Amino acid sequence: MRAESIRWTSSWHPVGSRHLEIDGYEFYVIDGTATLLNYRGTQHDPSVVLDEAAAHGRGLDARRLRFTRAPGLFGGIDDDELARRNATTIAVRDIVAMKTAPEIVAQIPLSPGVVARRVDTDVGVAEFARVSLDAWGFPPPILDDPS
């Protein structure tokens, strides 16, 4: 069991990437990009956290920093701040997991241009895999889960 635990790597880290934790910042680094997976530090100013994450990324020889702007710490980062940093939005995705009974999906309030639907076919699962790959940069690990 111990040997298996030592060999284990998270399926959320792309094959060939380096996984590191530095001062509360958790990254994976691959192909010159440091992706900030998680932040567990005490600083709560999102601009300071991004500055520090970028500095750590440079220390890891990364030319780019990738992070997810979402509710929470980085929810306060607005488009003006991203423009000031010469940041590029790669994609905008809302991936929501919830009970998928058709009557529940039908009740989800939607903004114009947003679609909510139950994924219950091979075609739907393939589309989910493509969207997840686009959003996260690697295939969704849940599809490898035999359960």
Q: Provide the residue ranges of all domains of the chain, joining segments of one domain with +.
A: 1-90, 92-147
Instruction: Report residue 142 as tokens.
Output: 């849940």
Handedness of CA 21, 53, 92, 73 (dihedral sign): positive
Cα dist from 86 to 59, 80, 111, 147, whole Å:
20, 10, 29, 42
DSSP string, 78-122: -HHHHHHTT---------------HHHHTT----TT-------SH
This prediction has a pTM of 0.57
**Residue-wise pLDDT tens digits, 70-111:** 767 787 788 898 889 888 877 766 655 555 677 777 777 777
